[in-house]
Amino acid sequence: GPVLSSFHRLADPRSAASSLSCFFPLLRVAAPRLLWESLWNTRVRGLAPRTVPASSRGWELARHLQKEAQAQHNNSEFTEEQKKTIGKIATCLELRSAALQSTQSQEEFKLEDLKKLEPILKNILTYNKEFPFDVQPVPLRRILAPGEEENLEIEDDEDEGGAGAGAPDSFPARVPGTLLPRLPSEPGMTLLTIRIEKIGLKDAGQCIDPYITVSVKDLNGIDLTPVQDTPVASRKEDTYVHFNVDIELQKHVEKLTKGAAIFFEFKHYKPKKRFTSTKCFAFMEMDEIRPGPIVIELYKKPTDFKRKKLQLLTKKPLYLHLHQTLHKE
């Protein structure tokens, strides 16, 4: 029927019809009026379906579902068990949104998986079966501006109880996966593609929703190009987090100022603190731009864009693995 055909719109993120509108009739049937109206009036009606990517709408809807899942008992029309299920659906929406943004051919959360949510969402008030996916409700995320997290976070391995208390529960989140296309070529000018292959970390397998923020800074730490975020990592194994994603430098190499550097900030989500944290960073200077593979060292946070007080993350042989390709007319 129309609901299932709507699910198919999420198959191809490039399609103009690739929106999350398929969930709206389901929510109209499944959810109490309060949730539906809050979704429709505060967010959905203001989004132009032909211009807003499916992935963005997925993240928006996931946030609303997360809020409903964590609403206080007096303010919610759902039981605790139903809220848990709604939270899991929100997690699945995030996974599908990330899959739509990924440039990789292998999607972690497929369209077929998405279809399994239909009967659950349709019958949320009576659903009592086991959830079909091994996921957990994700707390509302709070992504901090650079520098703020240093005041909250002492050590990754320390007990994290109470950190971040009193902070807003709906801090605006930057969605991972903001990669930009290659610039047009110019005669005599060089463009750089950096493939982020993998990063070595002793606790790689424990990182939740890891991604890398890439920026180009001058000696004063000022941005020279737009900042880009990779999609969430494609896989984790042993001491490596794998990305295998291409970053297109948004400036011709010859136009970069003297002393500029390309920064790579590894970020991951911390459920106990409910925010996304920078774990470490690496950078590449202009004299390191050359075709082929390169391995660069990892440094302790906070990210030092001026490169004045650098501290290695570890003495172990763990690095950021990159591969550079130069394009010249």
Instruction: State whether 196 and 323 are in the same domain.
Output: yes
Name the 3-class secondary structure at 328: strand
Sign of CA dihedral 70, 74, 77, 78: positive
Instruction: State whether 201 and 305 are in the same domain.
Output: yes
Give the Cα separation of 82 and 178 in Å (integer): 33
Give the Cα separation of 173 and 275 in Å (integer): 10
Q: What is the DSSP letter of 1?
A: -
Give the Cα separation of 244 and 81 in Å (integer): 38
Residue type, 159: D
- Token pair 């609403």: residue: 71
Instruction: State whether 307 and 238 are in the same domain.
Output: yes
- Inter-axis angle of helices 33-42 and 23-30, to 10 degrees? 150
Number of C-beta neighbours around residue 314 at 10 A:
15
Q: How far is CA 140 from the centre of its chain?
A: 14
Instruction: State whether 206 and 112 are in the same domain.
Output: no
Instruction: State whether 91 and 13 are in the same domain.
Output: yes
CB distance 91 to 135 below 8 Å: yes
pLDDT of residue 60: 63
Instruction: State whether 212 and 304 are in the same domain.
Output: yes
Angle (CA) 47 53 54, round 5°? 95
pLDDT of residue 303: 94
Does residue 230 fall inside a structural domain? yes
State which H helix or E strand residue 229 sits in: strand 228-229
Instruction: State whether 115 and 220 are in the same domain.
Output: no
CB distance 282 to 268 below 8 Å: no
pLDDT of residue 171: 26
Distances (CA, A) of 160 to 155, 165, 166, 266, 272: 9, 11, 15, 20, 6
**Which of 147, 214, 208 lies closest to 177, judged by CA?**
214
pLDDT tens, N- to C-terminus, the chain (329 residues):
433 333 344 444 443 333 444 454 444 434 433 333 333 333 333 333 334 445 455 556 666 676 666 665 555 677 878 888 887 887 777 777 666 665 554 556 677 787 788 788 778 888 888 888 877 665 544 433 344 444 333 334 433 333 333 222 222 344 457 889 999 999 999 999 999 999 999 999 889 999 999 999 999 999 999 999 999 998 998 899 999 999 999 999 999 999 999 999 999 988 877 788 899 999 999 999 999 999 999 999 999 999 998 999 988 888 999 999 999 97
Instruction: State whether 37 and 117 are in the same domain.
Output: yes
- Token pair 């398929």: residue: 22
Instruction: State whether 195 and 317 are in the same domain.
Output: yes
List, as one string, the DSSP characters of 125-160. TT--S--SS---PPPPPEEPPTTHHHHH-S-TTS--
Does residue 41 fall inside a structural domain? yes
Give the Cα separation of 247 and 199 in Å (integer): 15
Give the Cα separation of 325 and 121 in Å (integer): 46
Name the 3-class secondary structure at 305: coil
Instruction: State whether 205 and 321 are in the same domain.
Output: yes
Query: Domain residues for 18?
Result: 2-122
Does residue 200 fall inside a structural domain? yes
Q: How does pLDDT run across 5-33, given as a tens digit for each residue?
A: 333 444 444 433 334 444 544 444 344 33
Residue type, 130: E
- How many domains, in total, are found in the chain? 2
Does residue 304 fall inside a structural domain? yes
Does residue 261 fall inside a structural domain? yes
Does residue 130 fall inside a structural domain? no
pLDDT of residue 242: 96
Instruction: State whether 288 and 207 are in the same domain.
Output: yes
Does residue 77 fall inside a structural domain? yes
**Which of 32, 171, 37, 177 lies closest to 94, judged by CA?**
177
Instruction: State whether 188 and 116 are in the same domain.
Output: no
Rg (CA), the chain: 21
Does residue 136 fall inside a structural domain? no
**CATH number, position 115:** 1.20.120
Greatest C-alpha distance within the chain: 66
pLDDT of residue 93: 76
